[in-house]
Amino acid sequence: MLIRNRQSWQIPESQATPESVFMDRRGFLGAGAGLIAGAALPQIAAAQGADPTLDLYPAKKNESFTLDRPVTDEKLAANYNNFYEFGTSKDVVAAASKMATRPWNVQIDGMVEKPFEIGVDELIRKMPLEERLYRFRCVEAWSMAVPWTGFPLKALVELAKPLSSAKYVKMETFLNPRVAPGQLQRWYPWPYTEGLTIAEATNEMTLMVTGIYGKPIANQFGAPLRLITPWKYGFKSVKSITRISFVAERPKTFWEALQAQEYGFWANVNPEVAHPRWSQATEQVLGTRDRRPTLIWNGYGEQVAGLYKGLEGERLFV
């Protein structure tokens, strides 16, 4: 992605988060949101026990989601990750293992009937877990196909009871540089933030993921709770979520804040719209020598293209 091949000091001034903005953000967090999110901050892992939701796996497979390619080898997928909080290489397993994923609270706030905080285990047990096979297309032009376990974000939206004035769902990863050394790199606009329209969030494809390969999700994949929107580039699928806010304005997302020309809000997969620095026409399938043609909407047009009717003027594919 943007910064991966650069050393920190090579970031052009125009791409860096201004110090004042960063300090404001921290000041804000310290003064208010930080206190709310305080209970949700992950601690450094001390020998964690078995996952408290282990009994829920493997979840029943939803047979309506089928693949046109083999499932990616688990070892491969589990050792090739993007999780900038733990470094810019694909090898983040050891660094991410230092994140304690229990206790873990999720804050639900903004334009909802009543804001609340919920423990992730209580949340998972309230939700209809199922397994789905999805293609996953990274903006870097590699892809994989994996069995995710999770629940439709729609079910969580219903639990949250948003007001009609809420137009977007904003999701944030934890902010704790003691756990995630990448967050000491202050030119990134931490915390990692993503967002969807309410219509996208409640689409049947949009999954809140708690497990993968029939087990609770491992840290490097974004434990204990991450998003998956398989028709969008992978950077939309924010990991290790601690806060979900219902808002009226389109949130400024992490990559958009860094480099809006290359990474926009919508980020829908389209082979015909090149990234400014590379083609999106094909993708390298992890674990094979195959370069496959990329499919528009990553092959999920039937389920999602209708979401974008009337939005043709938007930069839907960046």
- Cβ(76)–Cβ(93) below 8 Å: no
Interface with ligand MTE: number of residues (CB under 6 A): 17
Minimal distance in Å, beta carbon 262 to ligand MTE? 12
* One of 33, 51, 53, 81 touching ligand MTE (CB under 6 A): 81
Does 105 participate in binding ligand MTE (rule CB under 6 A)? no
* Residue 111 or 239 having the CB closest to ligand MTE: 239
Residues 123-142 close enough to bind ligand MTE by CB under 6 A: 138
* One of 234, 263, 264, 298 touching ligand MTE (CB under 6 A): 234
DSSP string, 266-284: --B--TTS-BTTB--SEEE
DSSP 50: S
Of the candidate spans 79-87, 98-106, 243-251, 304-312, the one that interacts with ligand MTE by CB under 6 A turns out to be 79-87
Tokens for 117, please give them.
Answer: 């905080």
Which residues on adjacent β-strands are paired with residue 171?
Answer: 194, 244
What is the 3-state secondary structure of 99-137? Answer: ECCCCCEEEEEECECCCEEEEHHHHHHHCCCEEEEEEEE
- Rounded CA gap, 48 and 176, in Å? 19
Residues 142-201 close enough to bind ligand MTE by CB under 6 A: 173, 192
How big is the chain by its Cα radius of gyration, in Å?
18
Minimal distance in Å, beta carbon 193 to ligand MTE? 9
Of the candidate spans 8-16, 77-85, 104-112, 126-134, the one that interacts with ligand MTE by CB under 6 A turns out to be 77-85
User: Binding residues for ligand MTE, per CB under 6 A?
Assistant: 1, 81-85, 138, 173, 192, 221-222, 234-235, 237-240
